Chains A and B, each alone.
Chain A
Amino acid sequence: MSLRIEPITAFQTTFIGSPYSAQLLVKGSKPTWQPKVKSKQYADKLKTLPEFIQATDYSIRKVLANIEIPIRFDKSKLYALIMTKLSDDVESDIQLKSFIQTFEKTHASDNSSIYLKTLRRYLTEIDDYTPIQISDFAYMGLQSDISFSVFCDLSLAFITYQKMFKYIVEVAETKLGKLHSKGVRPIFIEKKVASYIHEIKPIMSEYSKTIESQLNLTFYMELANSNTYDELFKPKILNCATMNTETFAHYCKDFQSKLHVLRQGLFDKAPHLFTEKVDPKNPANFVWVISAMQSMGGSANDG
């Protein structure tokens, strides 16, 4: 499985690192593990993106503390490898870097129009990126003997993040639009920004839990299916046999359940984003209807 900073994660990490972090962090779940190599060296490397580095360091340490790591890998080495890769990726991706910089430098209260413009631009990027990610999961799922529902859930997560970002843009447009017009008083701007944060906070909080669970699952799959540091995060066929069945089932279940809570929360806030409908005449639909019948046949049709 590839390792990259997804656009939506970049938004989240800059949020975690931003002045809003105290309001958005999930309480009581700080990482318990400290690497031998401190992330300061990466912060030095990325002086321009301190908040991003702080948040990435936080997420990676948390995942490495959470998951079962194969004995062939050293946690601190993994930490250094992942942080280097992620920081190198951001350095080489000019667009991503500029997005993160904009969010680090321009908060909604400073200049809402630049903030909104960046959000809209990134929504376009997420719209372009999501189908590519789904294609990758469709390919990986075909090659792997792991249950396809795992790849379907990972795809569903990206579809949900896309909806979530649309929702954030909608809220931002409503709350922050034309905020910096002439004559608008600073106290009014403060109130509006606070209201924006208040509105998106519950969803961002569920998103944080979902992405953490997703990272636990994908990192576990990746580590269990790699024999050396060189093999990590490179294209490969993922096999069930390399993983502990119970541990893997636990990560899958946790991810599925967190994703479900996020989707429910988002559905409550923005049901208009859940309009996709199944075409009953589509031949693929019959596969589903018959599977449902098969399941209900065990309980509903035996009487």
Chain B
Amino acid sequence: MTDNDKRLYVDACIPLSLIFSQYPQFPKCQKLMGDVQKKGIHCFIIKPVKSDIESVFNTSVNSAKNVLRRLMGHLPIAKGVAPREMLEKTTVKSIDIAIIEHFFETEYHNAGQDQIAKDLITSIESWVIQRLEEKLASENEVLLINFLVDLNKEQIDFYSKWDTQKLIIENKLNCKEDATDYNQEDLTIVKNLRIPGKVLDKDKQALATLYRIVKNNNTKIVYASTDYSIVLAKSLIEPNLGFLVSDPLYAVQKL
């Protein structure tokens, strides 16, 4: 078997941990990145993994924007501004912070039992209030629409900066895309494995794609993941799907 017959594939959590410096996975992923650079090998990215990474970017900007849109609808009504004048005329003053506080209490309540959704609301609230107070420190009132557009501009700025960070990490991981598609039969085989723990649809699609790659090519594959539902299921995955799964710490050594 030559080096071309061996391929390292990575789960979305590896580039994401590196992009966002997420602990506790970050040191393991950093070690993998170092190994990849030392050996001069590529990290292959399959379609479901690529979509998973993209979804983080989409979720971030859309979560914030959706809250801002709801605030845009709520504030003029709560202030009793006539509908016709709503957006063009609605201003925000220090006294209106109480309305915003109430708005976020409702948002928090609506998040239900989902702790991360609640954390997300809290982070958006902190950001909105901090920016509003900064504005109101120099002006008595701000036009709501201008304030919200400025917040959206800040999200765009973050989108661009994080995308640059993504480019840097992809470059360091020597990422290459593998456009192989799985078929329904592949997915059924993965589903029939009945992997214990919380294995999401996107993870099953990733496993089905890797299974298809193994079937199409005579290639030794190592799939690096920090997802322990996958890593701990290696005794099920390896004999049935034909590829190795590994914690990122040991992935390059297993190639």
Contact = CB atoms under 8 A, between A and B. Distances in A.
Whether A and B are associated in the same complex: the answer reads yes
Interface in A136-191: 137-139, 141-142, 147-149, 151-152, 155-156, 159
A296 B15 CA distance: 11
A235 to B, nearest CB: 13
5 contacts: A138-B155, A282-B158, A286-B123, A287-B155, A298-B202
A299 B130 contact: no
B166 to A, nearest CB: 9
B250 interface: no
A31 to B, nearest CB: 27
A268 B158 CA distance: 22
A149, A151, A284, A287: which has the most chain B beta carbons within 10 Å?
A287
Contacts of B236: none
A141 B152 contact: yes
Contacts of A156: 156, 159-160, 163
B22 interface: yes
Interface string A104-147: 00000000000000000000000000000011011101100001
B52 A138 contact: no
A286 to B, nearest CB: 4
B156 A303 contact: no
A196 interface: no
Contacts of A139: 145, 149, 152
Contacts of B54: 256
Given A142-B69, A142-B148, A291 B161 contact: no
B160 A142 contact: no
B227 A302 contact: yes
B152 A148 contact: yes
B126 A300 contact: no
Contacts of A282: 158
Contacts of A288: 20, 60, 158, 162
B28 to A, nearest CB: 11
Given A152-B155, A300-B226, A141 B127 contact: no
A286 B225 CA distance: 24
6 closest Cβ contacts across the A-B interface? A303-B228, A138-B152, A291-B60, A148-B65, A286-B123, A283-B127
A277 B164 CA distance: 8
A292 B197 contact: no
Interface residues of B, number: 69
B168 interface: yes
Chain A interface residue number, banded: 35 or more
B61 A149 contact: yes
Contacts of B162: 278, 288
B167 A263 contact: yes
A242 to B, nearest CB: 18
Interface in B1-60: 11-13, 16-17, 19-20, 22, 25, 52, 54-60
Interface string B160-202: 1111110110110000000000000000000000000110101
Interface string A59-73: 000000000000000
Contacts of A152: 57, 61, 155-156, 159-160
A124 to B, nearest CB: 21
Contact of A284 (B11, B58, B154, B167): B154
Contact of B58 (A149, A264, A274, A278): A149
A206 to B, nearest CB: 14
Nearest to B64: A287
Contact of B160 (A159, A268, A291, A298): A159
Given A295-B56, A303-B231, A283 B161 contact: no
Nearest to A299: B227
B110 interface: no
